Structure 1
Amino acid sequence: MRYLVTGARGFVMSVLVERLLTAEPDAVVTTVDLHAPDHLLTTHLAGHEGRVQHVRADVGDSSAVAEVIAESDPEVIVHGATVTHDAASERLDPGRFIHVNTGGTATVLDAARRAGRVRRVLLVSSGAVYGSSPLGLLTEDAAPAPDEMYGISKLAGELVARRFGRLYGLEVPIARLTKMFGPMERPSSGRAVMSLPYHLAAAALAGRPLRVTERTLRAGGDWLSATRAAGALHLLARGTGRGDGVYNISSGVRTGVPELLARFGVEALPAPAGEGVVDMDPDAESGKNGVYASDRARRELLWNPGDLQEQVTEYLTWARNNPAVFVASR
């Protein structure tokens, strides 16, 4: 199978690329990103150099995208290029979310349908589309209510994808990711805010407690490792599931912050408001901060998110082998 993966320098997509190459010995992957692969990515993909090609391109550049698709001739595209939310970026440059998350999606889909050979484009979306929904447990049928430019742009990208599917007969499944953590997470141009598990891994490596606001200890969330998410994305990419389906890729359960601390073996150091490394609001556990039901993915993809402790243990092993990733957070 010939794959093209956009946003491949990002942490979830880089884990997916490694999975594609490992699980399919005959797979050939073209990675597309605005930036050249860093040392961490090339190390992560070591041993597969003959079957992976890295291309620098802006997904908003229609000519560049059309050229790379024509030259790589993929059967499947996984569109994961994105700019994730952080308050400072949203206020400074709100248009960037639209350019990348919505415009980039339209550009990739248009190039894919013109190429002719592409049969499936997997759109990697986010539970941010649920936004301010009052629901604490979100199924894929819950009404979207995005409340930030990130979620708005991701929902718009989903709508664009559905319309392309209907117009041109493309298979365009959509995967909505929950709160992600795991190997390859590090600051990038598209990801400025690190997950709570990232900070927990840094604290575990340093053998120190983690400063969190007092209210954070009453909060919780739906966390999933990128390695488990990559398993679901791989299934969707190779043709499992409905070509027009929407799938929550999530743990499907709430894990409280104290439990997560215990799983990482890290103690909490309560901090006043505004002084913690992490601050979560326990009264805001609905919508995008709620739990995303994963029943559809379990049923139709025959996928299982797996055990959280195994995911944490796997992540800590990777972290110990890549301590430089966490230097800036110590």
Structure 2
Amino acid sequence: MNLLITGGTGFVMSVVAREWLERHPDRRVVILDRAGLDEMGQAWFSAAGDRLTVVEGDVRDPSGWAAELNRHDISTVVHGATVTPISRGSAEEAARIPPESLMPATIVDVNLMGTVQLLEWARKKPSIKRFIYISSGSVYRHQGPDWAPEPLPEDGYVAPLTLYGISKFASEMIVNRYADLFALSAASVRLSSIYGPMDRTTESRNFRHVPNRIAQMALDGEVIRPNSLKPIGDYLHSVDAARAILALTEASRLRYRHYNVASGETTSIGDIIGWARQRVPDLRFEVADETSANVIQDPALATGMWGAYDISRLERDTDWRPRDGREAFHDYMDWLVAGRS
């Protein structure tokens, strides 16, 4: 019984794929993605041999992939294919021209109708026992919970403002309805801010969260100039995120339709710089104004989707637990160093 991952040549989904292959040496992974494996992806999967199949196709167009997928004995689906509108310019440019305004119809079409097409294919396959949809913390509003400083739960506080978040939440609801209509075991996971191995610039994603940027700058010997040491985020290493997703694919029972996948706590820019200095003792940093800062984040964004996510559902239904934040960050820095040698 094999795993299908859509969007599997990208960031988090490629980590999910390799974790599955390492966990199940007698099984296969089938990736459906518009993009093939780039150089980093080929190196990442070098040990997979013939247990990895990459099908290049648009998730919206089953005529280009359904017949090929039907050849494989697929029991589990992780649907991560998505369009994430990312600014390719400066923060000032993004403020003037919201990235989603450049391709609004494409965002909705891929994120929503791509999900519908995959569900249509999956519902006709009795072999499929679990369907996991990869959603995002972007479905949440900017404030909450009401009883600060508690982490943000899955129920309530959902009020997406962007087309990305709206399309993600709409897809969650469609997954729920298909699960009811066709007796499909399905759930959606809402990722917090993910960093770690395999994060690189691709056609659909060109964004690095604060831990990635600080780790890279520290190893490059660059002076880190944050606009403040106080801004926070719920940051999770990509390997931990992958293991959480796989834990849900293998859980004997899913008691909920929505699960946060996060560290469950916040970490500040100051914390991350401190962790980086433990690996690079001569790291230099100085707080700067926004005109000269190279790490800019709004200190006011500290609740709702920007704060800590409640992970108690995930911990109740699986044996997954996040690693200590410092340990995970150092693991990422070690991975970067190994890649540079």
Shorter-chain TM-score range? over 0.9
Whole-Å separation in 1 of the counterparts to 2:134 and 2:252: 15
1:240–1:276 Cα change, 3 Å = farther
Identical amino acids, percent of aligned pairs: 32
Residues 229, 64 of structure 1: alpha-carbon distance in 2 compared, 3 angstrom cutoff: same
TM-score, scaled to structure 1: 0.92
Report if aligned partners of 1:9, 1:33 keep a CA contact under 8 Å in 2: yes
Provide the rounded CA distance (Å) in 1 between the counterparts of 2:215 and 2:101.
Answer: 30
Alignment of 1:281 with 2:291, yes or no, is no
| 2:111 paired with 1:101 | yes
What does residue 198 of structure 2 align with? Answer: 184
Q: Does 1:126 align with 2:136?
A: yes
Alpha-carbon distance between aligned partners in 1 of 2:5 and 2:179, rounded to the nearest angstrom: 19
Kindly report which structure 2 residues correspond to 1:31-110, keeping only aligned pairs within 5 A, or say none. Answer: 31-86=31-86, 87=94, 88-110=98-120
Structure 1 residues 20 and 128: CA distance shift in structure 2, 3 A: same
- 1:247-269 CA distance string (max 9 Å, x none): 11111111111001111224433
Greater alpha carbon shift after TM alignment, 15-24 vs 55-64 = 55-64
Q: Secondary structure at the match of 2:248?
A: helix
Pairing partner for 1:169 from 183, 186, 197: 183
Runs of 4+ in 1 over 6 A off after TM superposition: none
Equivalent-residue separation in structure 2 for 1:116 and 1:20 (angstroms):
21
Q: Which residue of the partner structure matches residue 244 of structure 2?
A: 232
2:144, 2:152 within 8 Å by CA — same for their partners in 1?
no
In the alignment of these two chains, the number of paired residues is: 322
CA distance in 1, matches of 2:112, 2:297: 28
In 2 relative to 1, CA 9–292 (structure 1 residues): closer, same or farther, beyond 3 Å? same
Judge conservation of contact 2:157–2:304 (CA < 8 Å) in 1: no
Structure 2 residue identity aligned to 1:171: S
More helix by share: 1
User: Distance in 1 between the 2:183 and 2:157 partners?
Assistant: 25
Helix, strand or coil for the counterpart of 2:240?
helix
Determine the C-alpha separation between the residues in 1 that align with 2:105 and 2:219: 38
Q: Could you tell me which residue of structure 2 aligns to residue 328 of structure 1?
A: none
Tell me the C-alpha RMSD between the 2 structures. 1.8
Distance 1:243 1:5 in 2: 23
Give the Cα separation in 1 of the matches to 2:178 and 2:337: 44
**Which residue in the other structure is 2:285 paired with?**
268
Deviations 1:197-242 (A, max 9, x none): 11112112212222322xx322111100011111111111224441
Q: Answer yes or no: is the 8 Å Cα contact 2:225–2:295 preserved in 1.
A: yes
State the AA in 2 paired with 1:260: I
CA contact (8 A) 1:15 1:184 kept: yes
**One-letter amino acid of the counterpart of residue 247, structure 1:** Y
Matched residue of 1:75: which SS?
strand
Match of 1:218 among 223, 230, 235: 230
Q: Give the SS at the match of 1:30.
A: strand
Q: Distance in 2 between matches of 1:115 and 1:67?
A: 12
Question: Is the aligned partner of 1:305 residue 2:327?
Answer: no
1:43-93 Cα shifts (integer Å, max 9, x gaps): 111211121111111111132242233122311111011222435431211
**TM norm structure 2:** 0.89
Match of 1:327 in 2: none
- Matched-pair contact (CA < 8 Å) for 2:234–2:309: yes
Give the counterpart letter for 1:287 in structure 2: G
Instruction: Quote the offset at 1:243 in angstroms.
Output: 6.6
| CA contact 1:133–1:144 (8 Å) conserved in 2 | no
Corresponding residue of 1:152? 166
Distance in 1 (CA, whole Å) between partners of 2:340 and 2:189 is 31
Contact 2:251 2:318 in 1 (8 A): no
**Is the 2:251–2:317 Cα contact (8 Å) retained in structure 1?**
no
CA distance in 2, matches of 1:314, 1:101: 32
Match of residue 124 from structure 2: 114
Q: Which amino acid aligns with 1:126?
A: S
**SS of aligned partner of 1:124:** strand
